[in-house]
Amino acid sequence: DVLREKLAPHAAEPWMAATSLEVMEQSIQGCQRCALGATRNKLVFGSGNPKAKVLVIGEAPGADEDEQGFPFVGRAGQLLTKMLEAVQFDRTKDVYIANILKSRPPNNRDPKPEEVEQCEVYLWKQILLLEPKLILCLGRVAGTNLLKINETLGKMRGGVVHQFYGIPTLVTYHPAALLRNPDWKH
């Protein structure tokens, strides 16, 4: 399909040969495709159930994630974990969680276009391996970079069902935004 065609230029790269997320993770541990490879502590590939029907996508690792090597383990991550639990979702069983960027941007600045361009091929390959039935993007950065649309969060969220190469995709608030604005939680 179209996503496979977009990855065709990378066919000769070792990570493209992976037939599981676990093998793929091992193959990109030393990634230096962008400058963030020089400053990160741990590459944050993703976590959860590789057979989950739902893929949750965040922005990029923060300080806690960079230290531990897993997505959404800091304060925002703890809120995400609780929000999933509130709808009877166990983050280790019912979802897979990944980010647009696998390496931490210094001072948590927004991802640069060239960083997204280098890193998004990994997310696309993860999506081909996972075959999620639904994608949930957390925040404007995740939504605009995955969907390639230049919209505000307000226009992307609120029951709008987007499509990512045939996969229904929702966009909602980033949990870090909900920590700042608890009124938005409902």
Closest CA to 105 of 155, 38, 164, 18: 38
Give the Cα separation of 178 and 184 in Å (integer). Answer: 6
> Nearest residue to ligand URA, using CB?
58
DSSP bridge partners of 56: 97, 136
Residues interacting with ligand URA, by CB under 6 A? 58-62, 65, 71-72, 74, 76-77, 99
Q: Closest separation between CB of residue 59 and ligand URA, Å?
A: 3
Q: Closest separation between CB of residue 172 and ligand URA, Å?
A: 13
Closest CA to 126 of 27, 21, 47: 21
The H or E element that residue 87 is part of is none
What number of other Cβ atoms are within 10 A of residue 162's Cβ?
A: 17
Nearer residue to ligand URA within complex by CB, 17 or 92 = 92
Q: Closest separation between CB of residue 29 and ligand URA, Å?
A: 17
Q: Closest separation between CB of residue 77 and ligand URA, Å?
A: 5
Nearer residue to ligand URA within complex by CB, 61 or 132 = 61
Nearer residue to ligand URA within complex by CB, 65 or 115 = 65
Nearer residue to ligand URA within complex by CB, 59 or 132 = 59
- Inter-residue contact 13 to 24 (CB < 8 Å): no
